[in-house]
Amino acid sequence: MIKKFLRRSWDRYSKLGRNRKKKQTWRKPKGRDNKMREKRRGYPAVVKIGYKQNKKTRGLIEEKKHVIIKNIKDLEKVKANQSIILGKIGKKKKIEIAKKAEEKKIHIYNLNTGKFLKKLEKQIKTKDNKK
């Protein structure tokens, strides 16, 4: 499992990454009285030698190389030894890709296609009932 190293006090302030994943980055603790820098018990781990993953498994998801998909053409290009990650796309494209993946029986790493499509059908039914 990959250990996620985060900056000290990231959970206190929005500008350091509270509710903002993009801002949650590692910064070395440098303060004089910083408990994290002193590697005190009960404080988050500090980056050091020995945490790096094995070269063969580094950057892989489920022992497979990952491919970011942003449209249906990308989905058709996927090979058997690749795991799929959905890119940043809108709902319309996401629906199309989920349906295509269900047909081809392809697993998408960051989307539960069955659950997503069921939820969608439920929303459509409730919309029809309101009209």
Residue 34 lies in a domain: yes
pLDDT digits (tens, 9 = 90+) for 61-111: 888 889 999 999 999 999 888 889 999 999 999 999 999 999 988 899 999
Residue 76 shares a structural domain with residue 124: yes
CB contact at 8 A, 14 and 22: no
Supply the pTM of this predicted model: 0.66
pLDDT on residue 16: 93
pLDDT digits (tens, 9 = 90+) for 24-60: 999 999 999 999 999 999 998 999 998 888 898 888 8
Residue 43 shares a structural domain with residue 2: yes
Phi and psi torsions of 82, nearest 5°: -120, 140
Rounded (10°) angle between helices 91-104 and 113-130: 130
Residue 88 shares a structural domain with residue 124: yes
Domain that holds residue 120: 65-130
Residue 43 shares a structural domain with residue 72: no
Say how many domains are in the chain.
2
Q: How far apart are CA 112 and CA 93, in angstroms?
A: 15
